[in-house]
Amino acid sequence: MPWKLCAWHVVVMAFLWLAGDLCAQPSLEEEVDALKLRLASLESQNAELRESVVARLPSVEETPTPSDAGHAVGSDLGMTAKWNHGLELQSKNKDFRVHIGGRTQIDVGWFSVDPNVDNNLNTPHGDGLDLRRARFRIDGTMYETMEWAIEYDFVNSLRVRNQGGAIGFFDEAVTAPTDVWWLFKELPILGNVKIGHQKEPVGFEHMVSSRFLPFMERSYNQDAFYGGTFNGFTTGISAYDNYGEDDMGLIHVGLFKPMYSVFATSTGDGDYSVVGRITRLLWYSDEGRGLFHVGLSGKQATAVSQSGVPGRIMTFRTRDAVRTGLSQSWPQVAGITLYGDDMQWVNGELVGVVGPWTFQAEYLVSGLQDARKAYADAPAGTAVYHGGYAQVLYFLTGEHDHYNKKTATFDRVMPHENFFRVRDCDGNIISGSGAWQVGLRYDYLDLNDQTLNGGVLHNYTVGLNWFLNPNMKIQFNYMATDRDAALAGTLGDGWIHGWGMRVAHDF
């Protein structure tokens, strides 16, 4: 039929037109050749442009980049500011740096104490509050290889006797130095050398900054041994460096001048303290989410000489896990002051992290030779005291404690999300939870030996930590202490219950 022939005619014509158009397209080889020609043309134009620039600025090719040439230390002293857990000013080449910061800790405490205990303490427990720490700090780097720190605490206290024949005494708040030192980095053989007022390298817990403590107070070992009457800081020189593959270990040794107060002064003739700490990570994985740390510290020292006082003395004493008021008025739940000669310490430490779980334990044994209660007494022999703790903590929100290989200690907790509670543009409330951690610690101290008895303590502390952000936390502690006093019979024995809360901020 005519219309069928017409339709076939249209189809055939369309096919022939399409085939002709496809045949007119260039082949793949032709397209590649065209691209090569275009690329060669562009490279030629780029070379001509480069030659023109070099001709106008001949020094461009001769000036090396900073990464190739390095820099002269101090050549660029301009500084820029940023927030790095405090105000930090830093030069472009990072050879000069200044950090301005500090810390504040405000404590509140309530107590329930057996009358048999409170009636036999230097000061009875009292509900109240305590500005536990108020420190101002400036630290930094000079000339790339030297670091320094200057820090003062404004809430130490001193007990002063009334003058003019008045009876009694009064407690006065005073300012005292904590970290005041200079550090020379990456020296041959010695590694890092620190000179000045610093912590003696004994114990894991002692070396952890008070900013990062999981409980409101350290264990009894801190007050009875590491910290003593000198706040845990003494003046001397120390050297430390990492060893092993991936900095898995740390060696830290030092020579110090023993002190009996918080003021970084000592006039004792012949007093000395030689201290060493060695640590090792036996297991470390997933950037610290799993680790097992072991450490051993040792100390050989004299007791402390005081101007105008014959002989050398050593005070072993501790306050409890919740405290209120000025430090001079904190109840001493165990303690003794002795005359003696040389002293030796041995301290072991175990630390483990498995995801949100943290386990930590230490034990210290102290021996004071030729110990006696009065200078004129015959020596009773070596007074051996000891103490330790074990604690376990768990992050409810999944974080983990951060281990710093350079110091072989824990440092700042970084919440997965900060705490906040605000309204969005639509009026809806949005919030973040911060990080939450719970913990339990058993703490033990034995200051009894022969007739030189200062008491025995068993403490149980439960804690809840709320990290609002990396720089602020709120801590809640409940403690129960079983006190076995160094008195005849059961006088002074009993239980001490305390509830404490701390608001802490550091920058």
Structural contact between residues 193 and 183, judged by C-beta atoms closer than 8 angstroms: yes
CB-based contacts of 404, cutoff 8 Å, min separation 6? 410, 411
Calpha distance 478→291 (Å, rounded)? 29
Q: How far lies 56's CA from each of 42, 45, 50, in Å? A: 21, 17, 10
pLDDT tens for the 507 residues of the chain, in order: 444 444 445 444 544 444 444 444 556 666 667 777 777 777 777 776 666 655 555 444 444 444 445 678 877 888 999 999 999 999 998 899 999 999 999 999 999 999 999 999 989 999 999 999 999 999 999 999 999 999 999 999 887 777 766 667 778 889 999 999 999 999 999 999 999 999 999 999 999 999 999 999 999 999 999 998 999 999 999 999 999 999 999 999 999 999 989 999 998 889 999 999 999 999 999 999 999 999 999 999 999 998 778 899 999 999 999 999 999 889 999 999 999 999 999 999 999 999 999 999 999 999 999 999 999 999 999 999 999 999 999 999 999 999 999 999 999 999 999 999 999 898 899 999 999 999 999 999 999 998 999 999 999 999 999 999 999 999 999 999 999 998 777 889 999 999 999 999 999
Calpha distance 76→247 (Å, rounded)? 32
**What is the distance of C-alpha 297 from the center of its chain?**
18
Tokens of 438: 């719970």
pTM exceeding 0.85: no
**Which residues, in sequence order, are bridge partners of residue 79?**
91
DSSP 45: H
**What is the distance of C-alpha 369 from the center of its chain?**
34
**In one letter, which amino acid is 468?**
L
- 3-class secondary-structure state, position 507: coil
CATH 2.40.160.10, applies to 80-506: yes
Q: What is the pLDDT of residue 176?
A: 95
Q: What is the pLDDT of residue 28?
A: 64
Q: What is the pLDDT of residue 26?
A: 57
Which helix (DSSP H) or strand (DSSP E) does residue 215 occupy?
A: none
CB-based contacts of 196, cutoff 8 Å, min separation 6? 179, 180, 181, 182, 235
Taking the CA atoms of 161, 164, 165 and 166 in sequence, report the sign of the dihedral they define: negative
Structural contact between residues 305 and 296, judged by C-beta atoms closer than 8 angstroms: no
Q: How far lies 4's CA from each of 9, 15, 18, in Å? A: 9, 17, 22
DSSP 341: S
